[in-house]
Amino acid sequence: MSKVKNVSGGPLDVPLLGREVADGETVEVPDYQPDHTDENPLPIVWPPNRWLPVTDKKAPAAAVADGSTTKADA
């Protein structure tokens, strides 16, 4: 499972989730289509003009503001 954020500028109907996803909302989504197999994985491609991949790792606000890194990054 992965997380993606709706960056489309409006709500999107996502039948795979069985609901509408609001603009700016982050949702957990499957990585593969329901009928996938090991031989034919059928990955789901989330269009980059509507969805942004989200990671759980957050950068410190100061590092984001000035582009610096922390000791943990070294």
Report how far residue 17's alpha carbon sits from residue 13's, in angstroms, rounded to the nearest whole number.
9
Range of the domain at 14: 2-73
Total structural domains within the chain: 1
pLDDT beyond 60 at 55: yes
pLDDT in the model for residue 69: 55
Q: Reply yes or no on whether the pLDDT at 44 is more than 80.
A: yes
How much is the average pLDDT of 33-44? Answer: 91
Q: What percent of the chain has pLDDT over 70?
A: 77
Position 59 confidence tier, pLDDT thresholds 50, 70, 90: low
Its pTM stands at 0.69
Residue pair 25/9 in contact (Cβ under 8 Å)? The answer is no
Average pLDDT of the residues in 45-66 = 78
